[in-house]
């Protein structure tokens, strides 16, 4: 083999090595470009998500101001109507009194004139007295008219003043605080009861409201708050016997409250909540069904008396959803789920800003998705649930329950990035966020082993980001 042949062979091998090196460099460049493209895609997705959250916040602010504006206008209109009704009533009463007195005075004048013509001096004196009385009545009438005009001026001044942002309940609490400072006040027991109720100290509230009820056995407020505090106290007690005793006390006093005040919507609604709690704690299917039927009847009474009471519609929907979860057949389950959806639809139609109704409706759609028989039906209900949760967050972007429920939904769907994003928001807003809550939620099983979820769990465990 000549040296030129060897040189040519070496040259060819060198060319092959160059071509192979160029191919390797091109492969590395392509992989790097794909990695950059993937990272940019994730950043774009995150930017789109943040943009949507900002839009939801702006919509929530707009809804809040519109709602406050509507409430202020309604309050002004109601106050104006009440004032006008009062003024009309005063005018009618004063005119009626004046007309009646004038008629009596005219009749007595005729009698006196006849008596005077007959020569009875005594009636002449009576006539003078009647004229004096008539003049006094005219003066009183003029004073009434002056008082009415003064009320009108006060009403105009009232509308000219800025509105107080405190609610009626807040004013009641303030009055109770002032009353409780005076040991000689007769209403000290009721004031303490109101204060303990405001602080949700149900043990003390129960004792003081029972004392109020002993003094005012026919007070619907006392009956209601004895029942409410007994119900709240029962939920904290572990002993089943003591719990049932308090439930019985609450049942009795809700019944007394609606007997005294049949249109007390709060009593009917909370009575329904009590029956639903008793149904959840029931030991047999028959007992559970009995209490669930009782709860439905109480919610029906509340919504019949006030169709705009959205809390009753919302709680009624939750009751139907629970009955659907406990149903034995798919047909019965679907029937109860459809009734629950109708109740949530009624609630959100009457108050589009009611966050619990949107959130619970989302939970219902998630339940229906998990029970679906086909992937298409499952995805349909999961998308419906996501829309309900998004609507709740447009109203209140800081509702921790909705953020956690949306994270559970995205976990079920296997969307790791969206699930972790929602959990990060929940973790930032919730003071009770814990690893135990993450580990105890089965909806995170599809994403639990992903690196992103593990990293988030580690941050929660170590308390990072607080």
**What are the sequence ranges of the domains in the chain?**
3-160, 252-462
CA dist 163 and 161 (Å) reads 6
User: In this predicted model, what pLDDT tens digit does every residue of 6-39 receive, in sequence order?
Assistant: 777 777 777 877 787 787 887 777 777 777 777 7
The total of other beta-carbon atoms located within 10 Å of residue 270's CB is: 24
Mean pLDDT for 338-353 is: 94
User: In this predicted model, what pLDDT tens digit does every residue of 318-333 receive, in sequence order?
Assistant: 999 999 988 888 889 9
User: Check: CATH 1.25.40.10 for 252-462?
Assistant: yes
**In residues, how long is the chain?**
466
| Range 274-278, long-range pairs (CB < 8 A, 24+ positions) | 274/227, 274/231, 274/247, 274/250, 276/315, 276/318, 276/319, 276/322, 277/231, 277/234, 277/235, 277/247, 278/247
Residue 66: per-residue pLDDT = 74
| Average model confidence (pLDDT) across the chain | 80
Whether the per-residue pLDDT at 288 is higher than 50: the answer is yes
Mean pLDDT for 310-321 is: 95
CA 339 to chain centroid:
21
Residue 162: per-residue pLDDT = 35
Residue 64: per-residue pLDDT = 67
pLDDT higher for 134 or 250?
A: 250
pLDDT higher for 16 or 259?
A: 259
Q: Which two tokens stand for residue 428?
A: 């930032």
Residue 196: per-residue pLDDT = 85
Q: Of the candidates 299, 276, 302, 271, which has an alpha carbon nearest to the alpha carbon of residue 289?
A: 276
SS3 52: helix
Q: Which two tokens stand for residue 367?
A: 């339940």
User: In this predicted model, what pLDDT tens digit does every residue of 351-368 receive, in sequence order?
Assistant: 999 999 999 999 999 999
User: In this predicted model, what pLDDT tens digit does every residue of 55-71 receive, in sequence order?
Assistant: 776 676 677 667 777 77
Percent of the chain with pLDDT over 70: 78
Mean pLDDT for 409-436 is: 91
**pLDDT band, very low/low/confident/very high, at 130 (cuts 50, 70, 90):** low
**pLDDT band, very low/low/confident/very high, at 296 (cuts 50, 70, 90):** very high
CA 375 to chain centroid:
34
pTM for the predicted model, two decimal places: 0.60
Q: Which of 3-17, 253-267, 385-399, 420-434 has the lowest average pLDDT? A: 3-17
User: In this predicted model, what pLDDT tens digit does every residue of 146-175 receive, in sequence order?
Assistant: 544 554 444 444 333 333 333 434 444 444
**pLDDT band, very low/low/confident/very high, at 125 (cuts 50, 70, 90):** low
Name residues whose C-beta falls within 8 Å of residue 218's C-beta, 6 or more positions apart in sequence: 260
């Amino acid at each position: 083999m000549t040296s030129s042949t060897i040189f040519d062979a070496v040259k060819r091998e060198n060319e092959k090595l160059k071509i192979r090196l160029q191919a390797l460099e091109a492969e590395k460049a392509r992989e790097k470009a794909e990695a950059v493209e993937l990272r940019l895609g994730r950043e774009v997705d995150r930017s789109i998500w943040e943009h949507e959250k900002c839009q939801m916040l702006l919509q929530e602010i707009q809804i809040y101001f519109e709602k406050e504006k509507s409430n202020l206008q309604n309050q002004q209109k109601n106050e104006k109507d009440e004032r006008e009704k009062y003024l009309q009533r005063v005018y009618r009463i004063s005119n009626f009194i004046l007309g009646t007195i004038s008629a009596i005075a005219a009749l007595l004048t005729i009698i006196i004139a006849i008596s005077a013509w007959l020569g009875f001096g005594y009636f002449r004196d009576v006539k003078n007295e009647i004229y004096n009385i008539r003049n006094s009545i005219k003066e009183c009438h003029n004073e009434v008219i002056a008082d009415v005009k003064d009320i009108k001026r006060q009403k105009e001044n009232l509308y000219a003043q800025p509105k107080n942002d405190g609610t009626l309940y807040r004013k009641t609490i303030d009055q109770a605080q002032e009353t409780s400072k005076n040991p000689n006040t007769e209403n000290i027991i009721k004031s303490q009861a109101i204060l303990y109720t405001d602080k949700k100290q149900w043990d003390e509230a129960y004792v003081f409201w029972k004392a109020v009820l002993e003094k005012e056995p026919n007070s619907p407020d006392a009956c209601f708050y004895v029942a409410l505090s007994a119900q709240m106290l029962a939920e904290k007690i572990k002993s089943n016997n003591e719990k049932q005793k308090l439930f019985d006390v609450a049942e009795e006093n809700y019944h007394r409250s609606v007997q005294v005040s049949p249109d007390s919507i709060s009593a009917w609604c909370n009575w329904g909540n009590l029956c639903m709690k008793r149904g959840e704690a029931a030991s047999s299917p028959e007992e559970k069904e009995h209490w669930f039927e009782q709860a439905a009847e109480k919610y029906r009474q509340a919504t019949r008396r006030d169709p705009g009471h959205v809390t009753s519609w919302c709680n009624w929907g939750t009751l139907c959803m629970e009955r659907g979860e406990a149903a034995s057949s798919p047909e019965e389950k679907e029937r109860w789920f459809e009734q629950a959806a109708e109740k949530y639809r009624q609630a959100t139609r009457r108050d589009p800003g009611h966050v619990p109704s949107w959130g619970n409706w989302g939970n219902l759609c998630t339940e229906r998705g998990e029970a679906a028989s086909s992937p298409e039906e499952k995805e349909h209900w999961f998308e419906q649930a996501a829309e309900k949760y998004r609507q709740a967050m447009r109203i209140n972007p800081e509702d921790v329950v909705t953020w956690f429920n949306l994270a559970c939904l995205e976990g079920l769907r296997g969307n790791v990035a969206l699930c972790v994003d929602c959990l990060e928001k929940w973790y930032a807003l919730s003071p009770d966020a814990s690893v135990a809550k993450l580990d105890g939620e089965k909806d995170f099983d599809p994403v639990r082993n992903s690196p992103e979820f593990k990293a988030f769990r580690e941050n929660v465990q170590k308390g990072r980001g607080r």
